[in-house]
Amino acid sequence: MDTTNANTALASALVEELARCGLRQAVLSPGSRSTPLAVALWRQAEIEVSVIVDERSGAFFALGAAQASGAPVAILCTSGTAAANLHPAICEADHSSVPLIALTADRPPELRGIGAGQAIDQLKLYGDSVRWFCEVGTHEADDEGLLHYRSTACRAFAAARGKPRPGPVHLNLAWREPLAPLPVEAVVTAREPLALEGRDPRPLTAVTSIDLEPSEFLLDEVAGHIAEAGAGAIVAGRQLDPELREPLAHLAGAAGYPILTEPTSQLRCGPHDRSHVVTTYDLLLRDAGFARTAAPELILRFGEMPTSKPLREWLATSNADQIVVDPLGDWNEPTRRAAAVVRADPTELAAGWAARLGEERPAPVLWLDAERAARGAIKAELEGIEAPTEPGLQLALGAAYRDGDLVYTASSMPIRDQESFLPSTEADALFLCNRGANGIDGLVSSGIGAARTSGRPTTILTGDLGLLHDIGGLAALREVSTPVRIVVIDNDGGGIFDFLPQKRALERDEFEALLDTPRGLDVAKAAALFDLPHRRLEDLADLPEALAAGTGLIEVPVDRQANSALHERLASSAAAAARPA
């Protein structure tokens, strides 16, 4: 603990406890009011600090880091609008259950609401988006004050890690002068060793995690249900645990179910048994005939609900019993048709159900044949096109991903094309996204934060407007030494809007002005501003070489005008190929 003055003592006690709880990474943005905490974080040996000027980017960087590591990351900013800039990433962390500890510096109560400057109302600034808000208060560095700061740190860390659902927490911390670490005599009056030192090296208060072990009853009951049901399907949406792969593959084999895998489920790609993996459900289920023929009696859902609209519609109009594995105590059930929400560890559930089912059932040939036919049709259709296309890029990326890679994919078309077209390969890569709140903001920063914390070779996939939105995020590349390849899918505007009814309902110039918004972003100049290498990919065959070149911007020019028609063609070819002869 730093006893230079009362602020340094309180701030360093708080940070010391965060470190003892397990905090290893913090992101901070410069400011005066936050100096006591900034210095404490900077000087705490176990905590790596990244300094990012723009708080919005900094918070998304922290979000990406926390998502990639699964451990809480702290984000510190000064008072005023700086704190408001954390809000988008906090919303995303809330919806995606990512542990973040937001530390906002504030003016003390006597300087609020009197025109003292840089003071906005920071109390409960993020509303219900945080798991816990605490106005930490202004305290003396006495026994009670220091114990309060230490205890608050332990509670904040535990709340971010999850009860059981991880997410953001917000500590608002007011500081009086001196904000700089200037010596003040006799202000640290604490005497109790626990207040002064805590329980080094353990936290003041260790908090156990909540046990999600499924009961025997739950395992028997649902396994019996699966055994009795006829056709079924496993739907695997975003979840981050690669340990789920093997047990879920076993369960699919034992139940004779296909696994409809969104890439961010970590089940589409990997070294596990992928014999039951289906990647083309988004295309196949557009075909009413296939959707009907494939109607299941039982659906087992793991992870979040995938993005695919045809899949969502299929689930929402299905008469199947749906069992939703939702361990975090959220309400991950937009179909409103689930028969049960199961609150237990997904890996143990899958392993337990698979073990109880025993023998393998016949493979789901309807799905597996359709998958093979659809993939063949997609490949054939795309081979006939020379210039890069958005679906074609996903095939090329699929062939290029390697074990250990991290892929961070933007909302809008990149995540949708990844879901529709990325093939299943053995690459043991980690697929992340910001799909909790579906923003196009902060994606570059999130990807760089994930690269920073994981040390994995990283590929960020973003649209051109996505890049424009977080262009300042590129500044954070200075924090990272591992390769970060930013693939900019440049269709000059919001290509996603071409798929909406607005496209036909609006005049052409209105549509372009209000939705499409082509901005003619010059990716080479964006790269130059941050002194980054830039490559423009005219041929997808050059992708492996471009990725191997390391950190930089890879611009992939694609034709927006042709894109929606190509998507339609691919879906109808895939469905036609999959239709039983």
The Cβ of residue 506 has, within 10 Å, a number of other Cβ atoms equal to 17
Q: Is 64 in the site for ligand TPP (CB under 6 A)?
A: no
Taking the complex as a whole, how short is the minimal distance between the CB of residue 318 and ligand TPP, in angstroms? 28
Q: Is 433 in the site for ligand TPP (CB under 6 A)?
A: no
Within 8 A by CB and 6+ apart from 501, the residues are none
Distance CA 57, CA 469 (A): 10
Q: Is 438 in the site for ligand TPP (CB under 6 A)?
A: yes
Among residue numbers 487 through 516, which ones bind ligand TPP (CB under 6 A)? 491, 494-496
Nearer to ligand TPP, 15 or 283 (CB): 283
Q: Is 466 in the site for ligand TPP (CB under 6 A)?
A: yes
Assigned token pair, 139: 């305290």
What is the DSSP-derived secondary structure letter of residue 271?
Answer: S
Strand partners, 134: 171
Q: Is 279 in the site for ligand TPP (CB under 6 A)?
A: no
Q: Which stretch binds ligand TPP (CB under 6 A): 220-228, 321-329, 393-401, 412-420?
A: 412-420
Q: Is 96 in the site for ligand TPP (CB under 6 A)?
A: no
- The residue type of 188 is V
Q: Is 106 in the site for ligand TPP (CB under 6 A)?
A: no
Q: Which stretch binds ligand TPP (CB under 6 A): 302-310, 405-413, 528-536, 572-580?
A: 405-413
Q: Is 463 in the site for ligand TPP (CB under 6 A)?
A: yes
Assigned token pair, 349: 């559930």
Q: Is 104 in the site for ligand TPP (CB under 6 A)?
A: no
Q: Which stretch binds ligand TPP (CB under 6 A): 56-64, 157-165, 320-328, 464-472?
A: 464-472
3-state secondary structure of 151: helix
Taking the complex as a whole, how short is the minimal distance between the CB of residue 374 and ligand TPP, in angstroms? 22
353 phi/psi in degrees, rounded to 5: -65, -45
Q: What is the DSSP string of 449-472?
A: HHHHHH---EEEEEEHHHHHHTGG
Taking the complex as a whole, how short is the minimal distance between the CB of residue 392 and Mg ion, in angstroms? 16
Neighbour-count burial of 48, counting CB atoms closer than 10 A to its CB (0-12 exposed, 13-18 middle, 19+ buried): middle
Letters for 424-463 (x = contact with Mg ion by CB under 5 A, - = none) are: ---------------------------------------x
Letters for 458-497 (x = contact with Mg ion by CB under 5 A, - = none) are: -----xx--------------------------x---x--
Binder of ligand TPP out of 266, 412, 420, 434 (CB under 6 A): 412
Taking the complex as a whole, how short is the minimal distance between the CB of residue 252 and ligand TPP, in angstroms? 32
Closest CA to 73 of 101, 108, 51, 114: 101
128 phi/psi in degrees, rounded to 5: -85, 5
Before 580, cis peptide (omega within 30)? no
Nearer to Mg ion, 209 or 438 (CB): 438
Nearer to Mg ion, 232 or 494 (CB): 494
Binder of ligand TPP out of 40, 171, 440, 523 (CB under 6 A): 440
Q: Is 391 in the site for ligand TPP (CB under 6 A)?
A: no
Size of the site for ligand TPP (CB under 6 A): 16
Within 8 A by CB and 6+ apart from 506, the residues are 514, 515
Letters for 76-95 (x = contact with ligand TPP by CB under 6 A, - = none) are: --------------------
Q: Is 526 in the site for ligand TPP (CB under 6 A)?
A: no
Distance CA 391, CA 529 (A): 30
Taking the complex as a whole, how short is the minimal distance between the CB of residue 522 and Mg ion, in angstroms? 14
**Locus of tokens 């026994």:** 143
- Return the one option of ligand TPP, Mg ion, none that residue 411 interacts with (CB less than 5 to 8 A, by type): ligand TPP
Closest CA to 349 of 298, 302, 297: 302
Distance CA 213, CA 82 (A): 41
Contact 419, 306 (CB under 8 A): yes
Distances in Å between the alpha carbon of 214 and those of 66, 166, 235? 27, 19, 20
Letters for 138-177 (x = contact with ligand TPP by CB under 6 A, - = none) are: ----------------------------------------
- The residue type of 113 is G
Q: Is 388 in the site for ligand TPP (CB under 6 A)?
A: no
Distance CA 409, CA 487 (A): 10
Strands of 370-512, DSSP E: 406-409, 430-433, 458-463, 484-490
Nearer to ligand TPP, 261 or 418 (CB): 418
Taking the complex as a whole, how short is the minimal distance between the CB of residue 557 and ligand TPP, in angstroms? 12
Distance of CA 71 to the CA centre of its chain: 13
Q: Is 473 in the site for ligand TPP (CB under 6 A)?
A: no
Question: Taking each helix axis from N to C terminus, what angle separates 35-43 and 6-21, rounded to the nearest 10 degrees?
Answer: 50
> Which residues are at the interface with Mg ion (CB under 5 A)?
463-464, 491, 495
Q: Which residues bind ligand TPP (CB under 6 A)?
A: 411-414, 438-441, 463-466, 491, 494-496
